[in-house]
Structure 1
Amino acid sequence: MHLLHHAFRLYIEPSELEATVAFYEQLQDKKCERRLSFAERGIEVAVVGAFVLLAGSEAALAPVRTSTALLMVDSLDETLDWLRTQGTTVIHEPQQAPEGRNATVRHRDGLVVEYYQATTAT
């Protein structure tokens, strides 16, 4: 079980996506590395370095808004096994996600994290 990458999740209005991407590109001196569209959910995603920007209406973002961090791991199952011994609460069990699997966990201190394992090495 190894932590491979971490990111902050930010929730924004769709009209702010381009300006927010530009801000985080300049802040980190990194280009946006990935864009995803979930048209059926009304959510656009941009990944810029240590930030995952999710743009959508309040209603579209409501189901995913509780998570404030993303931790990419090499083994989701091993990580969840360990987390369960630490007194965390699994909000949703592993499920298929774009290019991998994810689960959402509430830590004992209240932090809600999406844990993600890519199908292929990142």
Structure 2
Amino acid sequence: MRFEIPQIGTELVQIREILPIFGLDEALKPFRNTQATFPVDSLDDFRAYPEEKGAGIIRKPNKVPTGRNMTVKHPDGSVIKYVGHTKVPESQT
């Protein structure tokens, strides 16, 4: 998957389970504290899991062009973004 977000000057590319973000330094500034982005099958189903393991939700689930995401700070200090992608009907792929 490859997705451009021209409004903020970034591009998202999915490589297996990793979702790197590309762009100029200024465009990437808001993402610098996030160490990784991982897709999940269902953000709603996954949401309780990090909290059960002692993590804190930094940004609650919100709508983004690819579906919904949330940002979590884990007990070890790592900041991870989880993304639940919107399913595209086969007729549109």
Residues 29-67 of structure 1: CA deviation (Å, up to 9, x unaligned): xxxxx2221111011222333443322222210111222
Runs of 4+ in 1 over 6 A off after TM superposition: none
Question: Could you tell me how far 1:101 is from its partner in structure 2?
Answer: 0.9
Gaps of 5+ in 1: 1-33
Gaps of 5+ in 2: 89-93
Q: Select which of 13, 17, 21 maps to 1:46.
A: 13
Q: Which amino acid aligns with 1:53?
A: P
User: Relative contact order: is structure 1 or structure 2 higher (C-alpha 8 Å, sep ≥ 6)?
Assistant: 1
Q: Which has the larger radius of gyration?
A: 1
Corresponding residue pairs, total: 88
Larger displacement relative to structure 2 (92-101 or 69-78) = 69-78
Root-mean-square deviation (CA), in Å?
A: 1.9
Structure 2 residue aligned with 1:119: 86
% same residue: 33
Give me the whole-angstrom Cα distance separating, in 2, the residues matched to 1:36 and 1:48: 12
TM-score, scaled relative to structure 1? 0.61
Change (3 A) 1:73 1:90: same
Give me the whole-angstrom Cα distance separating, in 1, the residues matched to 2:62 and 2:72: 13
Give me the whole-angstrom Cα distance separating, in 2, the residues matched to 1:118 and 1:53: 15
